[in-house]
Homo-oligomer: A and B are copies of this chain.
């Protein structure tokens, strides 16, 4: 993007790597319980460097959320490859989600947005807005695939793509919550399978 070398002392760290480390801290502890000391230790950056690169704690959190959202959208789009059957698409979506949700050093971390942005959403309007937009974007991406399925005959014409997409998302939301609540991988995979079955099976009439 920008290879133009700026004047002054060059940055001694990779901003994206630091953002990922900060994201992990927020993911484990949430926004409020994550201190700048935690963030500083995890990123190996002292506070002035953090402030210089990202602004204050709130800006850093919002940037971490945004990066997470974009990564998630990428995973989702790849899983929804329309050259594969809808059933496989949904299975891939859930498998991809579980791979993310079940990761974690202490315990499964679930979804960064659902499990940490939700708390702040009441008092913190910008977080609520990011969370709402993210959920809608996910719905929209699945809806696009559902629309294709309805047109190609994979789904009954009577099926409503938006409704089915929201229900497909609902299963994913539940997986996120249950993962963080400590449910086993086996349980979560069973829920994912039955979700695929219910959504893809029911609309064949």
Closest to A195 in B: B167
Q: Please tell me which one of the listed residues B109, B167, B190, B201 contacts residue A191 in the complex, with CB atoms under 8 A apart.
A: B167
Within 8 A of B (CB), among A141-198: 160, 163, 166-167, 169-171, 173-174, 177-178, 180-183, 190-191, 194-195, 198
For chain A, residues 64 to 88, give those with C-beta under 8 angstroms from any C-beta of chain B: none
Stretch in contact with the other chain, from A1-9, A11-19, A25-33, A42-50: A25-33
A199 to B195: give the CA distance in the assembly, Å: 10
Size of chain A's interface in residues, with CB distance under 8 A?
50
In the complex, the answer to whether B170 meets A174 with C-beta atoms within 8 Å is yes
Using A191-B166, A195-B167 as known contacts, say yes or no to A120 and B30 having CB atoms under 8 A apart: yes
Q: Are A180 and B121 in contact (CB under 8 A)?
A: yes
A181 touches B118 (CB 8 A): yes
The CA-CA distance from A55 to B135 in the complex, in Å, is 38
Query: A128 within 8 Å of B by Cβ?
Result: yes
Which residue of B has the minimal Cβ distance to A33?
A: B32
Complex Cα gap A44–B194 (Å): 49
Chain B residues positioned under 8 Å from A107 (CB to CB): 121-122, 125, 128
In whole Å, how far is A100's beta carbon from the nearest beta carbon of chain B? 14
Of all chain B residues, the one with the shortest Cβ separation from A183 is B132
Are the CB atoms of B177 and A114 closer together than 8 Å? Answer: yes
Q: List 10 A-B contacts (CB under 8 A).
A: A108-B122, A114-B118, A118-B181, A121-B181, A131-B181, A135-B178, A167-B194, A169-B174, A173-B178, A201-B202
Contacts A128-B182, A166-B174, A170-B170 known; list 18 others, CB within 8 Å.
A27-B122, A29-B32, A30-B119, A32-B32, A33-B120, A106-B123, A107-B121, A107-B125, A107-B128, A110-B118, A118-B118, A128-B181, A135-B181, A167-B171, A169-B174, A170-B171, A173-B174, A174-B174
